[in-house]
């Protein structure tokens, strides 16, 4: 196969792959890396899913370094919700790291929303994914803040994951 043929083949595969990643599918969760990121597999393929609409406290990328407060609790809670379970993923495209942006459902329950309700993730502060209804997330965050659940118990010492990443680059 010559170079132009390879380019055309890659383009065709890419065109058909992107819509497939944007629609719903069932996956078995094999790993939770952060309170807002998981790896799942289906049909021999592994995908990384970034839970859309939320931002969880950051774990440390350096061995022996402490992560953001509540980062381990957030990750552990997500593990309890999804690890080794089959999840339904509604996709909203890909992020800049080629992760699927998605809502994960276990037994019909929106896992992304559950993380916010427990005070273990905040509403994502950047532009929302196209078509994602953000109001339920905002309401859940307001309720978690008022009840001082999870990371909201830190009060004035709370730093958003977005700000924490900026300060720790």
Domain of residue 85, CATH code: 2.40.50.90
Residue 4 belongs to some domain of the structure: no
pLDDT at 14: 41
Give 66's pLDDT tier (boundaries 50, 70, 90): confident
Number of domains making up the chain: 1
From the list 43, 124, 35, 103, the residue with the least C-alpha distance to 73 is: 35
Does some domain include residue 49?
Answer: yes
Tell me the residue range of the domain where 139 lies.
22-167
Instruction: Establish if 153 belongs to a structural domain.
Output: yes
Identify whether 15 is part of a domain.
Answer: no
Q: Which pTM value belongs to this model?
A: 0.85
**Residue that the structure tokens 């593990």 belong to:** 79
Does a structural domain hold residue 9? no
The CA-CA-CA angle for residues 96, 127, 92, to 5°, reads 60
Active site (catalytic) residues: 50, 58, 99
When pLDDT is cut at 50, 70 and 90, the band that residue 82 belongs to is: very high
Q: Has residue 42 been placed in a domain?
A: yes
């Amino acid at each position: 196969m010559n170079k132009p043929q390879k380019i055309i083949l890659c383009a065709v595969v890419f065109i058909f792959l992107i819509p497939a990643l944007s629609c719903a599918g069932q996956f078995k969760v094999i790993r939770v890396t952060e309170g807002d990121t998981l790896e799942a597999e289906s049909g021999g393929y592994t995908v990384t899913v970034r839970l859309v609409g939320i931002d969880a406290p950051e774990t440390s990328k350096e061995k022996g370094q402490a992560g953001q407060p509540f980062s381990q609790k957030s990750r552990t809670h997500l593990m309890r919700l999804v690890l080794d379970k089959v999840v339904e993923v509604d996709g909203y495209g890909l992020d800049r790291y080629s992760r699927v942006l998605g809502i994960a459902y276990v037994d019909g329950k929106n896992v992304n929303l559950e993380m916010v309700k427990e005070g273990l993730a905040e509403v994502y502060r950047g532009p929302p994914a196209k078509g994602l209804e953000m109001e339920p997330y905002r309401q859940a965050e307001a309720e978690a803040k008022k009840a001082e659940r999870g990371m909201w118990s830190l009060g004035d010492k709370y730093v958003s994951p977005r700000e924490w990443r900026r300060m720790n680059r």
